[in-house]
Amino acid sequence: MREKHDAPDLAAERNLVLSSLEHDQLVTAKKHRIGRRRLKGPELLILSALRLYLIFMMAVVGYQVWMAAR
Amino acid sequence: MMKPFATETEEAVVITHEDVDRAHDRIRVFDARARRGFASKARLLWLLVGPGVLVMLGENDGPSMLSYAATGAKFGIGFFLPFVALTFCMAIVVQEMTVRLGAATHRGHAELIFERFGPFWGWFSMIDLGIGNFLTLITEFIAIRAGLGYFGVPPWAAIMIALATLYAALMSHRYWTWERITLAAAAFNLIFIPVALMTHPRWSSLSHAFFSLQPLPPFNKDTVLIVLADIGATVTPWMLFFQQSATVDKGMTTKDIRFGRIDTVLGAALATAAAVATIIATAPLFAHQMSAGNFEAAQFAQALEPLIGRFGASLFALGMVEAGIVAAITISTSSAYAFGEVTHKPHSLNLPMRQGKSFYAVLTLCAVAAAVVVLIPGLPLVYVVLVVNVVAVLAMPPALVFLFMLVNDKEIMGDLVSPLWANVLSTAVVLLLTAAGILFGISVVAPNVFAALGGR
């Protein structure tokens, strides 16, 4: 159960990996998705407010560049 | 940490090339940690430094060094010296959280945002990162072109040199080798220190500025822009994504967090030294009343030539080239990491080319696309340089709130959630950055407000 690799001693490599990496560090383990968390009201409010802030400020930057270019 | 989400079934574990390379790196860390004595501790530090120094010196990039140079030329030695040091303290607070997140979860920043908050918020942060990274990459190639232009290198050749260096760092297909090559290149950021010394600064003025924050700049639109540009020169979204992904790729674990912090502080100290040196180096232009606000890299070098000679000016131009190249490497890598994390494609600098095609393709495409933009004749690139640091500051608060929420998420962080003092500091950073952004908005939309407040 190993992807293509040219080293000769597969068992030794497997032991090396399993003894030196934490389980969550293995590429296989990372394929498992982390559960999603439910955002609470205040969190959603802050994230939405900051999104609006960013969109508005980008428009301000665009205006500044337009003014400078004129 | 992460245990609730790790694989529940003990299915056959697939060992990949990436795992093997990372395991070899970890063995060296275990060996160094097992021994006693100063030499072993020094070796452990040598093995574990990297992401923090790279991210801090990487952020001393083309537009950042131009911002510092413009600061020195416009305001001389004064308030901005301690201010820049303060912004790097802010960067330490922020970046330390990414070390903890990476070491505790072994997941990249983009991956965590997507999986914990869902694709809606995930794509927003990816769009922010993508736009910011692309604009910043363009400015890196502008800095490289301008810096090498000082030596008479034509633009196309300058761009080819930069792309060849980026490719050479990647050729090893090994995180460790890539990190050491990039660190060696990043060390040249300190070239600005001898340049500053060549200007024979008055040490009494420097210490006075550091301890008194004096003289203060006038409160006007230009000052707000420079303040924002200098903040944007030290804290940007790509840094969060890069350091967390690099921490994961390096294989750091919770036992390495202390060294991860040392790495971050060391990087910030080196970057502060280079940034302050750049301000000091161009301060004589302020003393000579030279209008250098919109200078490019080569023009700064040319303006400094009568003051510090051809050798000093050449060092300055080379520093700009280095700043651009190292940042081009780290920023394109951060884009490739984020892409791989979001699409669940292999994403590691330990991957051989055939296994990491999409990772290397994204990395190369980002760099080549930005390089090509710089070569299009007649494009008003000066506006990109002007706004890139400002855009970085504006995009930081949303990015920081995600980081703040992740690092306080007990389900994934366990006991490593942020302590109260860290939360207070990071909240202060978010508020400061938002306030700076709002101030910038007022200065653009209603500049008369500044006049009413006594500015010009």
Mutate to test the interface with A, among B9, B19, B128 (most CBs of A within 10 A): B19
CA dihedral B76→B437→B320→B195, nearest 10 degrees, is: 20
Residues of B in contact with A42 (CB under 8 A): none
Question: What is the DSSP code (8-state) at residue A34?
Answer: P
Domain map of chain B by residue range?
Answer: 49-411+419-452
At residue B92, the 3 state secondary structure works out as helix
CA dihedral B77→B78→B82→B88, nearest 10 degrees, is: -60
pLDDT of residue B367: 92
Residue B15 pairs with which residues in a beta bridge? A2
Q: How many other C-beta atoms can be found within 10 angstroms of the C-beta atom of residue B42?
A: 11
User: Does residue B77 contact residue B280 with C-beta atoms inside 8 Å?
Assistant: yes
pLDDT of residue B296: 63
Classify residue B213 as left (phi > 0), alpha (psi -120 to 50) or beta: left
Per the structure block, which two tokens stand in for B230? 């200098």
User: Does residue B266 contact residue B49 with C-beta atoms inside 8 Å?
Assistant: yes
Residue B167 CA to residue B157 CA, distance in Å, equals 15
Residue with tokens 């004129």: A70
Per-residue pLDDT of chain B (456 residues; tens, 9 = 90+): 544 444 444 456 788 888 999 999 999 999 999 998 899 999 999 999 999 999 999 989 888 888 888 888 888 888 888 999 999 999 999 999 999 999 999 999 999 999 999 999 999 899 989 999 998 999 899 889 989 988 999 999 999 999 999 888 888 889 999 999 999 999 999 999 999 999 998 888 888 888 887 788 877 777 887 888 788 778 889 999 999 999 999 999 999 999 999 999 999 999 999 999 999 999 888 776 666 655 666 688 888 888 889 999 999 999 999 999 999 999 999 999 999 999 989 989 999 888 889 999 999 999 999 999 888 887 766 667 767 878 888 888 999 999 999 999 999 999 999 999 989 998 998 898 888 888 888 888 887 776 666 554
B28 has a chain A CB within 8 A of its CB: no
Residues of A in contact with B7 (CB under 8 A): 23, 28-29, 32
Q: What angle do CA B265, B271, B273 make, to 5 degrees?
A: 105
**Facing B441 at nearest CB: one of A2, A39, A57:** A57
Mutate to test the interface with A, among B13, B33, B386, B426 (most CBs of A within 10 A): B13
Residue type, B149: G
**Facing A32 at nearest CB: one of B7, B15, B395:** B7
pLDDT of residue B243: 95
Q: Is the pLDDT of residue A2 over 70?
A: no
Q: Is B272 exposed, middle or buried (0-12, 13-18, 19+ CB in 10 A)?
A: buried
Residue B418 CA to residue B378 CA, distance in Å, equals 49
The B residues from 433 to 452 touching A (CB cutoff 8 Å) are 434, 437, 440-441, 444-445
Residues of A in contact with B12 (CB under 8 A): 1
Question: In the Cβ-directed half-sphere of A42, how many Cα atoms lie within 13 Å?
Answer: 1
Residue with tokens 């633009």: B155
User: Does residue B284 contact residue B74 with C-beta atoms inside 8 Å?
Assistant: no
Residue with tokens 């070796």: B43
Residues of A in contact with B340 (CB under 8 A): none
Which pLDDT band holds residue A1 (cuts at 50, 70, 90)? very low
Residue B277 CA to residue B9 CA, distance in Å, equals 56
In chain A, the largest separation of any two C-alpha atoms, in whole Å, equals 68
**Facing B20 at nearest CB: one of A17, A50, A53:** A17
- Looking at CA atoms only, how far is residue B16 from chain A in angstroms? 6
Residues of A in contact with B118 (CB under 8 A): 36
Would you call B17 and A5 a contact, using CB atoms and an 8 Å cutoff? Answer: yes
**Facing A32 at nearest CB: one of B1, B6, B409:** B6
Residue B80 CA to residue B77 CA, distance in Å, equals 7
What percent of chain A is helix, strand and coil (3-state, nearest 5)? 65, 0, 30
- Looking at CA atoms only, how far is residue B213 from chain A in angstroms? 29
Question: What is the DSSP code (8-state) at residue A40?
Answer: P
Homologous superfamily of the B49-411+419-452 domain (CATH): Amino acid/polyamine transporter I (1.20.1740.10)
**Facing B251 at nearest CB: one of A21, A32, A35:** A21
**In Å, what is the CA distance from B161 to each residue of A1, B66, B152, B361?**
42, 21, 14, 19
In chain B, the largest separation of any two C-alpha atoms, in whole Å, equals 71
For A6, nearest residue in chain B (alpha carbons): B17
Question: What is the DSSP code (8-state) at residue B42?
Answer: H
Q: How many other C-beta atoms can be found within 10 angstroms of the C-beta atom of residue B345?
A: 15
Q: What are phi and psi of B15, to 5 degrees?
A: -95, 125
| DSSP secondary structure string for all residues of B197-261 | HHT---HHHHHHHHHH--SPPPSSHHHHHHHHHHHHTT--HHHHHHHHHHHHHHT--GGGHHHHH
| DSSP secondary structure string for all residues of B279-290 | HHHHHHHHHTT-
pLDDT of residue B290: 65
Alpha helices in B344-445 (DSSP H): 357-375, 381-407, 410-413, 420-445
pLDDT of residue B15: 85
Residue A2 pairs with which residues in a beta bridge? B15
Peptide bond into B215 cis (omega under 30): yes
